[in-house]
Structure 1
Amino acid sequence: MNRKSRDIERRSRLLVDGRRGAGPVVYWLSRDQRVHDNWALLCAQQEALIRGRGLVVVFCLVTDYPGGEQRSYHFLLAGLAELARQLAELGIGFVLLRGDPALALPPWLHRIDACTLIGDFDPLRLKRQWQRRLLAEIGIPFIEVDAHNVIPAWIASNKREYSAATFRPKYRRLIDDYLTDIPAVIRHPHPGPAASPPLETDRLLGEVTGRRAGPVNWLVPGETAGKAAVETALNDRLPGYASRRNDPCGNGQSNLSPYLHFGQISAQRLAWRVSGAPLAEEDRQAFLEELLVRRELADNFCLHESDYDRFAGFPAWARQSLDEHRGDRRPYCYSLAELENGGSHEALWNACQRDLVATGKLHGYLRMYWAKKILEWTSEPEEALHIAITLNDRYSLDGRDANGYTGIAWSIGGVHDRAWPRRLIFGKVRFMNEKGCRRKFAVDDYITAVNLNHRRDRF
């Protein structure tokens, strides 16, 4: 077995066997929306080449996805339009289906007499439900590939990890073997189904139900733009990352999380580039810790904890401590609508919310503070969790993601954290406030910058 086949095989697993049809190999693309550096597409092409079949990529557009807004659909559809063009240049078909994949895919697969189905790994509940229902309806082999993580989530750990401290040693034992260069997809030599017409992205965007958050204009979607953003990060943003990453005024974030969320860039390719870049070692290690260990720990949490977005998913010590403080008096208590409109008494929190609404992105350090204040200003932790997830999924370009659910669970429920000295409302969950932020960065400068940008974006 050559290296390429070995790398594909160990990132893949056969979930169900069956009778192969006489038609093309199908890649059901979902989480990893790119042509290049995509192990799932490479797996599908290898299967098609071995069997002398055509190759087609299919995407199922669900226009009422929970938390989905015009903002996220615009980013998704623009990326898919570019992906379809790139696939056509490689002799690979692309088909867009509408609706629930478990309902839309089976009749289409039957109609084309599909040979084999390849699908993306995703730890989120709705995606896994789609997959289970789909597997019950199809009679062909289904292969799942984790092209989102560098180490497949089911290999990195077979259980829910308590913290980064327990996950990191397991991860580091494997990473050198998995962090490799990625082979290129080739022009496919076997014809497949007739090409679909170009995507009418404006018309499709009109079908989306979410209307609260419109597209942003500071970030260009798609694989090509994502690769350009990687170059900008390597040259301009990652030097000094270790010292600047917690300063929202310091231009120290990579701005790559939307591209990673939509799978328009590969985390493995990014890590490969960072590993070989002329960066200070402290900057390289700080960034790789976030990109690899912390990001893949989030997938571990959502894969092994079915209640990743519920109070029941918090560790026992945090649930007990929060329960003990349910009756604590809240000096301030806000509704979802008040918080969504940036209507708290605290200028920094309001600026964070306006920043999120206007740009679709909130600095990582501030997102922790933002979520913890929601816990402090709501009647119970369940309500805080609901509001934080609702606002993050609704407005953030990288919302509806394992990283988001895990980050909010860390902020509100102590997931992957330890118990801290007891406080009112928070119990033993880590506390953050504006005073602590002022020790980290120039809070007033951030508030001023957000207010100016917010007014310009709206007027």
Structure 2
Amino acid sequence: MSKAPPSKKPKLGASAAASDLPGFLAKLEEDRKTAAASVSDFKFNEKRVRILSKQKTMPDWATGVIYWIFRDQRVQDNWALLYAQKLALKRKVPLHVCFCLVPKFLDATVRQYDFMLKGLEEMARECGRLGIQFHMFLGEARSVLPAFVAEHRLGAVVADFSPLRLPSEWVDLLAVALPKDVPFFQVDAHNIVPCWVASDKAEYAARTIRNKINSKLPEFLTKFPPVVKHPHSSKLLAEAVDWDAALASLEVDRSVGPVTSIAPGSEAGLACLQEFCSKRLRLFASKRNDPTCNALSNLSPWCHFGQISVQRCILAVRELKAQFPESVDAFCEEAIVRRELADNFCHYNREYDRLEGAHAWARKTLDDHRKDKRQHVYSRDELARALTHDDLWNSAQLQLAREGKMHGFLRMYWAKKILEWTDTPERALADAIFLNDSMSIDGRDPSGYVGCMWSICGVHDQGWREREVFGKIRYMNYEGCKRKFDVAAFVARWGGKKHSYKSKK
């Protein structure tokens, strides 16, 4: 796996929409002001909040409030930060934002860390302009935050929400380690309908959760009040962050280098949203499954890191419902129902990235066909270097390796072929997840895990006609792709070649 070559294309979210961005940002600021002057004047929906401690209220001695960020790395349009500011304003105490940088996270490489840290640097600057102290700590939250909270007599901790195992464990461990008289709150700032409100169980498919979510949208799909300049200054001043040193401290794979075609940070993400609304949304309903057509939102890198809010994206897109009703409906289905279904799966199924997390019918059919002859078997390294006999698959893999993203339709084909070309379904799932998590900017995400599980293990799907290797798992092939889009044009763009196949291992 080599570093991505410099891209000659303009950065997504940067220059492409620069001329229209100031007006778009001004419109967003005005939209927040119409919701409330500040969060203190806003009726906050308490259903967005869970209390994770026995202590329910801030103690009288509190000298500040902490928002510990992990998943939602932005200032504005952030229900968790808004809730933390509401607590601080009510008690007239300073507000602090803390990020705990761990040297390694799952299969993330320097590619994703570089994108994340540059976004956090932008967030830190915005916090500074608003009188909010931004602190960067090295290490897990349970190791650094309890002592920090106790030493400085901070009276409440607010965390955002992730359904993944490791971040969930961090939250559980911090809840135990914090001082007992400090309340610990969690706010789902990522989903429109909080995950624990949308459903109290793992849903079988989109059809079983769709109405549960859509029926609650009138209550939760509301405007955001602004995060305002915090009026209560702090004697506890944050140390300046050495961002280069933070990046250098990581214990991660550096062979998958940063991409230059996607600009990190909230402002770049909002620029991409503005450009999607003005240029690509009109094509979304009819062309989103065509990898040769620029019809996708391209918002997933910023949404994954929480640099922009999906709720903000929906609010912006829905304004164009009268002009592009089918595209708006299709985007809302994917960005709300399908995405929140992925959070539901990972929250209620701890085996969300393993064969054991699949339904019984899928595990059985994969096991029944475990010994079927594979025409091709590739190693993880051969897959990573796009050395298969399939030029379309190789082109999709090259797009992922070079740009840190892959067209959504091809992600399905890509993962299903990995099932077809590996010796066991367990290895197929592990290889697909590893390649996605290490190369894609939006890897290590519930949608990514569910995408691999859908493709390889039939999650949120049904059984289809039985065939070799796949069993009853839905099948996709090269000829089917040719009927949907111009495969030759896509291959020509990315340069995927057919490689001769050696003897099967």
1:456 alignment partner in structure 2: none
Q: Which runs of 4+ in 1 moved over 2 A?
A: 2-8, 17-23, 192-203
Q: Does 1:120 align with 2:157?
A: no
- Match runs of 1:43-442 below 5 Å: 43-139=83-179, 140-208=182-250, 209-277=252-320, 279-442=323-486
SS across alignment from 2:260: coil
Greater Cα shift, 143-152 or 197-206: 197-206
SS across alignment from 1:60: strand
Contact 1:55/1:93, CA 8 A, preserved across alignment: yes
In structure 2, the CA distance between the partners of 1:428 and 1:115, relative to structure 1 (3 Å rule), is same
Q: Does 1:31 align with 2:71?
A: yes
Letter of the structure 2 residue corresponding to residue 133 of structure 1: L
> How many residues are aligned here?
451
Give how far 1:451 is off.
2.0
| Identical pairs, percent | 46
Give how far 1:10 is off.
1.9
What is the alpha-carbon distance in structure 1 between the residues aligned to residue 263 and residue 327 of structure 2? 26
Greater Cα shift, 305-314 or 172-181: 172-181
What is the alpha-carbon distance in structure 2 between the residues aligned to residue 15 and residue 181 of structure 1? 26
What is the alpha-carbon distance in structure 2 between the residues aligned to residue 353 and residue 347 of structure 1? 10
SS across alignment from 1:238: helix
TM-score relative to the length of structure 2: 0.87
What is the alpha-carbon distance in structure 2 between the residues aligned to residue 112 and residue 371 of structure 1? 49
2:29 alignment partner in structure 1: none
Contact 1:314/1:413, CA 8 A, preserved across alignment: yes
2:44 alignment partner in structure 1: 7
Contact 1:64/1:210, CA 8 A, preserved across alignment: no
Contact 1:8/1:39, CA 8 A, preserved across alignment: no
Task: Note the alpha carbon deviations across 1:175-233, whole angstroms, 9 max, x for none.
Answer: 12211111111111111244434433222212222212111111110011111111001
TM-score relative to the length of structure 1: 0.96
Letter of the structure 2 residue corresponding to residue 188 of structure 1: H
Give the gaps of 5 or more residues in structure 1.
453-459
SS across alignment from 2:267: helix
What is the alpha-carbon distance in structure 2 between the residues aligned to residue 5 and residue 122 of structure 1? 25
What is the alpha-carbon distance in structure 2 between the residues aligned to residue 235 and residue 57 of structure 1? 34
**Structure 1 vs Structure 2 CA RMSD:** 1.4
Task: Note the alpha carbon deviations across 1:261-284, whole angstroms, 9 max, x for none.
Answer: 000101111101111125411010
Give how far 1:240 is off.
1.5
Greater Cα shift, 201-210 or 136-145: 201-210
Give how far 1:5 is off.
5.0
2:81 alignment partner in structure 1: 41
Greater Cα shift, 425-434 or 173-182: 173-182
SS across alignment from 2:466: coil
Give how far 1:340 is off.
0.7
Greater Cα shift, 290-299 or 273-282: 273-282
Contact 1:27/1:118, CA 8 A, preserved across alignment: yes
Contact 2:40/2:86, CA 8 A, preserved across alignment: no
SS across alignment from 1:16: coil
SS across alignment from 1:426: coil
Give how far 1:289 is off.
0.5
In structure 2, the CA distance between the partners of 1:92 and 1:380, relative to structure 1 (3 Å rule), is same
What is the alpha-carbon distance in structure 1 between the residues aligned to residue 66 and residue 482 of structure 2? 53
What is the alpha-carbon distance in structure 1 between the residues aligned to residue 63 and residue 253 of structure 2? 37
What is the alpha-carbon distance in structure 2 between the residues aligned to residue 446 and residue 394 of structure 1? 23
Greater Cα shift, 332-341 or 6-15: 6-15
What is the alpha-carbon distance in structure 2 between the residues aligned to residue 3 and residue 412 of structure 1? 48
What is the alpha-carbon distance in structure 1 between the residues aligned to residue 384 and residue 270 of structure 2? 33
Letter of the structure 1 residue corresponding to residue 90 of structure 2: I
1:457 alignment partner in structure 2: none
What is the alpha-carbon distance in structure 2 between the residues aligned to residue 5 and residue 156 of structure 1? 23
Greater Cα shift, 194-203 or 119-128: 194-203
Contact 1:8/1:43, CA 8 A, preserved across alignment: no
